[in-house]
């Protein structure tokens, strides 16, 4: 199924304006979620808001938003006042600078979108994409939508431009806030650690090599429930307390384990990806027809 655009915007690059279509790059809809049900009859539960002062149930038309400026002290805002505070949507990204993508710490990365050229924008879109690839740079600009302002990064992935939202500096905690002791590292320990890293180093990251095994297991158990089967609930053994280990022995054992695993993998050949479990919604549909 072809991807569906969720909106459009314009990239401003000097005096060049490039209209583009916007697509989500990730699929949060694939996440498995559970609903709250009434234990006695199995009906969905409806969320209610209760006044902390008199215990009465408050309907949505009686609610206003407020800001706590001191302990248990609030100032309230009308919907119109909140609307006036919001950032006006620009429907455009104005590029302000070009930087090496390596200069941006991944901790600043947030949501990602794909961009495609809108009608008549194929040439300037391709020009910007190719120029960024050859210069090995990415573009940084600003974007405002849904009442919020964002820093965004534009970078090519193959022939497709991606737009990645970035956190503002004030939203990212400094790593210096974390207190980490600096122990003495012995040369022999460092050498073994580097050998272990070398054994497990790949030319590039392949996301397809990683499967969401937890999701597959949950889907399988859900399907059993849909088909009227019981699932076994096994007790989860608590993790043991941290033990003091011999670091050198642990590194040597890790090296031996890695070498053994690689030898076994080379003999067995490439593994096939596990067969995907039928989605619960489809299973429920089949079960209802029986």
Q: Give the model's pLDDT for residue 28.
A: 67
Query: Which residues of the chain, if any, have pLDDT below 50?
Result: 235-238, 240, 242, 244, 273-281, 283-285, 287-290
Q: Give the model's pLDDT for residue 245.
A: 62
The residue ranges of DSSP E strands in 16-101, in sequence order, are 16-24, 49-50, 57-58, 65-70, 73-77, 92-99
Question: Are the C-beta atoms of residues 19 and 116 closer than 8 Å to each other?
Answer: no
Q: Give the model's pLDDT for residue 86.
A: 66
The residue ranges of DSSP E strands in 167-236, in sequence order, are none
Q: What are phi and psi of 190, to 5 degrees?
A: -65, -40
pTM of the model: 0.65
CA 168/CA 122 separation, integer angstroms? 31
CA angle (113 as vertex; 109, 119 as ends), nearest 5: 145
Q: Give the model's pLDDT for residue 211.
A: 81
CA 149/CA 225 separation, integer angstroms? 45
Q: Give the model's pLDDT for residue 212.
A: 78
Q: In 3-state terms, what secondary structure has residue 215?
A: helix
Instruction: List, in order of start, the domains of the chain with CATH numbers.
Output: 7-27+86-171 (2.40.290.10), 183-198+211-231+248-290 (no CATH)
């Amino acid at each position: 199924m072809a991807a569906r655009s969720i909106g459009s915007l314009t990239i401003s690059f000097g005096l060049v304006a490039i209209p583009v279509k916007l697509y989500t790059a990730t699929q949060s809809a694939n996440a498995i979620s559970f609903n709250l049900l009434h234990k006695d009859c199995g009906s969905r539960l409806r969320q209610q808001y209760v006044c902390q002062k008199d215990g009465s149930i408050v309907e949505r038309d009686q609610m206003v938003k407020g800001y706590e400026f001191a302990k248990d002290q609030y100032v309230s805002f009308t919907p119109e006042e909140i609307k006036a505070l919001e950032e006006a949507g620009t429907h455009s990204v104005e590029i302000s600078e070009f930087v090496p993508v390596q200069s941006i710490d991944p901790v600043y990365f947030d949501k990602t979108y794909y961009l495609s050229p809108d009608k008549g924008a194929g040439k300037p879109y391709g020009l910007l994409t190719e120029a960024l690839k050859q210069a090995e740079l990415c573009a940084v600009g600003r974007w405002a939508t849904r009442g919020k302002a964002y820093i965004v990064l534009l970078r090519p992935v193959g022939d497709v431009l991606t737009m990645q939202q970035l956190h503002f500096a004030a939203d990212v905690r400094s790593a210096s806030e974390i207190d980490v002791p600096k122990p003495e590292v012995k040369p022999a320990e460092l050498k073994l650690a580097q050998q272990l890293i070398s054994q497990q180093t790949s030319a590039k990251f392949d996301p397809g090599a990683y499967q969401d095994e937890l999701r597959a297991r949950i889907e399988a158990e859900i399907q059993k429930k849909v088909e009227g089967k019981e699932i076994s609930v096994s007790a989860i053994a608590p993790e043991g307390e941290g033990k003091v280990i011999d670091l050198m022995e642990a590194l040597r054992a890790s090296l031996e384990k890695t070498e053994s695993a690689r030898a076994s993998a080379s003999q067995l050949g490439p593994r096939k990806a596990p067969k995907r479990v039928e989605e619960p919604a489809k299973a429920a549909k089949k079960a209802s027809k029986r």
